[in-house]
C-alpha cells in the first residue's frame, strides 16, 4: 500500500516539475523543444533512481545513502526542534584555515552538512523516502545543466543536438551527477554561476545576476573549496578576453602563468595558505583510505619538483585510465568508453577544423571551458588514486572538455 502511494506521489512530483521546467523553457524563448527537455529530465530521474537502487541492493552502500540516513535525524529535528536543526553542524573550529582537511575543521564538512540539511527539507515533502528525494534533487541539478546548455548554445554555433547530447546524456555525467551526492549540487551551482557570468559579460551587469554569481560561488566553495578557486582565474580571463581588444588567448595565458607562479610562491605564506602543502595533504588523506582498486600515485610533496614529477601520473589517471585490460565492472567499461569517445571527438574535430583549429579553440568561452576542464582534471589526477572516485569527480569536467571540440565538427544537425 505504501509503495503504491509513494509511486503515485513520485509521479505527481515528476509531472509538476516537468510543467515548471516547460514554463521556464518558454520564458527563456524555448531554447529546447519541450519533448527534448522532458525526455532529458526523465532520463536524469531514471538515472538517479537506478543509482540509488544499485547502491542499496547490488554494490556497497555509497555516501548517498549515508547522507540520506543522517538527513532523517535532521528531518525529525526540523519538525520537533527547529532551533536545533539550524544550529547543528555549525562550528568555527579552524575557521581561519579555509583549506584544512582536518575532521573538525569548519570548512571540511560544510558541503556534507549543506547536503544533509537540504535532504532534511526534502523529507518534509517526500515523507522521508529516498527515491522521491531523488526527484527533488534532480530538479535542482537539471536546472544547472539547463543553464549551462543555454550558455553553450549561445557561444557554440551549430551542432545543437550534439551539444545537447553531451550536456544531458554523457553517460558518466548522467549517472554520477543524478545520484544524491555533492556532485549534483556542484552541477546546479556551477551552471547558475556560468549563466550569470555569461549574462554579465555579454548582456549587462545587473544586481540580480551579481547576487547569483556571489551566492553560487559561495555554495561551490562550501561544497568543494578548491573547485571554486579553479573557476576564479577562468572567469577573470573570460571577462577580459571579451571586454578588451586583445587576442582572447592572451588573458588566459597571462592569468594562468601568474596563477601557477602564485600557487608555488604561496609556500612562503603561513601554513593555512600554503597551497602546495594543502593539496598534498588532501592527496595524503585520499591515500590513507581503503578501496578495492587503487592506482599507483606517488605521495606529493609541497615542491615544484614533486608536482612536476607526478604530473605524468596525474595526466595518465584522468585521461587514459582505465586501460582496456583494467575493466572489471560496468563502471570501468563506461569510463573506458568515454575515453574512447573523447579521443574520437578530438580526432574528428581536428580533421574537420584543419588549419582553423586554433581559431576555433581561441574563442573566449571555449578557452574558459578548456582551462576549467584541464585544471579540474589535473586536480583530480594529483589527489585521487581510486578509479571509481575519479570517474565520478571528473564527469562534469569531461563535458566542459568536449564542448569546444564538438563546436568544430563540420557535420551540422538540426536545431532542437
pLDDT of 382 strictly over 90 = yes
Q: What is the mean pLDDT of residues 55-71?
A: 89
Q: What is the mean pLDDT of residues 365-380?
A: 96
pLDDT of 411 strictly over 70 = no
Q: For position 26, what pLDDT does the model report? A: 94
Q: For position 98, what pLDDT does the model report? A: 59
Q: What is the mean pLDDT of residues 270-281?
A: 87
Q: For position 89, what pLDDT does the model report? A: 65
CB atoms under 10 Å from CB of 123, counted, come to: 23
Q: For position 99, what pLDDT does the model report? A: 60
Grade residue 413 by pLDDT with cuts at 50, 70 and 90: very low
Q: What is the mean pLDDT of residues 336-358?
A: 86
Percent of the chain whose pLDDT exceeds 70:
93
Grade residue 329 by pLDDT with cuts at 50, 70 and 90: confident
How far does Cα 175 stand from its chain's mean position? Answer: 12
What's the pLDDT tens digit per position in 171-229? 999 999 999 999 999 999 999 999 999 999 999 999 999 999 999 999 999 999 889 99
Length of the chain: 416
In the predicted model, what is the mean pLDDT of the chain?
Answer: 89
Percent of the chain whose pLDDT exceeds 90:
62
CB atoms under 10 Å from CB of 2, counted, come to: 8
Q: What is the mean pLDDT of residues 62-67?
A: 90
Among 414, 413, 411, 401, which Cα is nearest to 346's? Answer: 401
Q: For position 350, what pLDDT does the model report? A: 86
Q: What is the mean pLDDT of residues 14-42?
A: 94
pLDDT of 1 strictly over 70 = no
Lowest mean pLDDT among 34-48, 189-203, 330-344: 330-344
Top-ranked range on mean pLDDT: pick from 155-169, 175-189, 400-414 = 175-189
Specify burial of residue 65 (Cβ count, 10 A radius: 0-12, 13-18, 19+): middle
Q: For position 279, what pLDDT does the model report? A: 92
Grade residue 308 by pLDDT with cuts at 50, 70 and 90: very high
Distance of alpha carbon 285 from alpha carbon 293, whole angstroms: 16
Q: For position 268, what pLDDT does the model report? A: 85
Q: For position 326, what pLDDT does the model report? A: 82
Q: What is the mean pLDDT of residues 405-410?
A: 78
pLDDT of 362 strictly over 60 = yes
Distance of alpha carbon 398 from alpha carbon 376, whole angstroms: 10
Q: What is the mean pLDDT of residues 294-317?
A: 93
* Cβ contacts of 237 within 8 Å, gap of 6 or more: 251, 252, 254, 255, 256, 367, 368, 371
Residue spans per domain, the chain? 2-406
Distances (CA, A) of 4 to 7, 8, 54, 236, 305: 5, 6, 21, 51, 61
96-101 contacts, C-beta under 8 A, 24 or more apart = 96/272, 97/272, 98/225, 98/272, 99/225, 99/226, 99/272, 99/273, 99/275, 99/278, 99/282, 100/272, 100/278, 101/278, 101/281, 101/282, 101/285
Grade residue 11 by pLDDT with cuts at 50, 70 and 90: very high
Residues 97, 105 contacting (CB under 8 angstroms):
yes
pLDDT of 121 strictly over 90 = yes
Higher-scoring residue by pLDDT: 297, 327: 297
The secondary structure of the chain, three-state, reads CHHHHHHHHHHHHHHHHHHHHHHHHHHCCCCCCHHHHHHHHHHHHHHHHHHHHHHHHCCCCCHHHHHHHHHHHHHHHHHHCHHHHHHCCCCCCCCCCCCCCCCCCCCCCHHHHHHHHHHHHHHHHHCCCHHHHHHHHHHHHHHHHHHHHHHHHHHCCCCHHHHHHHHHHCHHHHHHCCCCCHHHHHHHHHHHHHHHHHHHHHCCCCHHHHHHHHHHHHHHHHHCHHHHHHHHHHHHHHHHHHHCCCCCHHHHHHHHHHHHHHHHHHHHCCHHHCHHHHHHHHHHHHHCCCCCCCCCCCCCCCCHHHHHHHHHHHHHHHHCCCCHHHCCCHHHHHHHHHHHHHHHHHHHHHHHHHHHHHHHHCCHHHHHHHHHHHHHHHHHHHHCCCHHHHHHHCHHHHHHHHHHHHCCCCCCCCCC
Q: 170 preceded by cis ω (within 30°)? A: no
Q: For position 94, what pLDDT does the model report? A: 59
Q: For position 23, what pLDDT does the model report? A: 95
Grade residue 398 by pLDDT with cuts at 50, 70 and 90: very high
Amino acid at each position: 500500500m505504501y509503495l503504491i502511494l509513494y509511486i503515485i506521489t513520485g509521479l505527481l512530483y515528476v509531472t509538476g516539475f516537468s510543467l515548471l521546467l516547460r514554463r521556464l523553457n518558454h520564458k527563456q524563448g524555448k531554447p529546447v523543444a519541450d519533448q527534448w527537455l522532458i525526455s532529458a529530465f526523465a532520463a536524469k530521474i531514471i538515472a538517479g533512481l537506478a543509482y540509488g537502487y544499485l547502491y542499496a541492493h547490488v554494490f556497497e552502500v555509497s555516501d548517498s545513502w549515508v547522507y540520506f540516513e543522517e538527513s532523517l535525524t535532521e528531518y525529525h529535528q526540523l519538525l520537533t526542534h527547529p532551533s536545533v536543526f539550524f544550529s547543528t553542524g555549525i562550528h568555527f573550529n579552524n575557521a581561519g584555515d579555509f583549506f584544512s582537511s582536518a575532521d573538525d575543521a569548519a570548512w571540511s564538512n560544510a558541503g556534507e552538512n549543506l547536503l544533509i540539511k537540504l535532504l532534511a527539507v526534502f523529507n518534509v515533502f517526500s515523507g522521508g523516502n529516498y527515491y522521491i528525494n531523488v526527484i527533488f534533487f534532480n530538479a535542482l541539478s537539471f536546472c544547472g545543466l539547463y543553464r549551462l546548455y543555454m550558455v553553450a548554445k549561445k557561444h557554440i554555433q551549430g551542432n545543437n543536438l550534439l551539444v545537447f547530447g553531451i550536456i544531458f546524456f554523457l553517460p558518466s555525467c548522467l549517472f554520477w551527477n543524478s545520484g544524491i551526492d555533492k556532485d549534483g549540487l556542484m552541477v546546479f551551482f556551477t551552471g547558475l554561476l556560468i549563466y550569470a557570468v555569461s549574462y554579465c559579460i555579454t548582456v549587462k551587469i545587473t544586481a540580480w545576476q551579481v547576487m547569483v554569481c556571489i551566492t553560487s560561488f559561495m555554495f561551490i566553495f562550501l561544497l568543494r573549496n578548491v573547485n571554486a578557486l579553479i573557476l576564479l582565474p577562468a572567469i577573470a580571463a573570460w571577462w577580459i578576453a571579451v571586454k578588451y581588444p586583445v587576442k582572447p588567448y592572451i588573458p588566459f595565458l597571462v592569468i594562468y602563468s601568474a596563477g601557477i607562479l602564485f600557487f608555488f610562491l604561496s609556500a612562503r605564506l603561513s601554513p593555512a595558505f600554503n597551497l602546495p602543502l594543502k593539496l598534498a595533504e588532501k592527496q595524503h588523506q585520499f591515500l590513507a583510505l581503503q578501496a578495492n582498486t587503487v592506482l599507483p600515485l606517488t605521495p606529493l610533496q609541497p615542491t615544484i619538483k614533486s608536482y612536476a614529477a607526478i604530473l605524468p601520473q596525474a595526466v595518465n589517471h584522468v585521461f587514459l585510465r582505465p586501460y582496456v585490460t583494467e575493466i572489471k565492472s560496468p563502471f570501468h567499461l563506461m569510463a573506458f568508453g568515454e575515453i574512447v569517445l573523447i579521443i574520437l571527438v578530438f580526432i574528428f574535430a581536428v580533421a574537420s577544423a584543419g588549419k582553423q583549429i586554433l581559431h576555433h579553440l581561441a574563442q573566449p568561452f571555449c578557452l574558459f571551458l578548456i582551462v576549467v576542464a584541464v585544471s579540474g582534471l589535473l586536480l583530480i589526477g594529483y589527489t585521487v588514486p581510486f578509479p571509481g572516485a575519479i570517474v565520478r569527480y571528473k564527469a562534469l569536467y569531461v563535458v566542459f572538455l568536449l564542448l569546444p571540440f564538438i563546436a568544430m565538427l563540420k557535420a551540422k544537425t538540426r536545431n532542437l
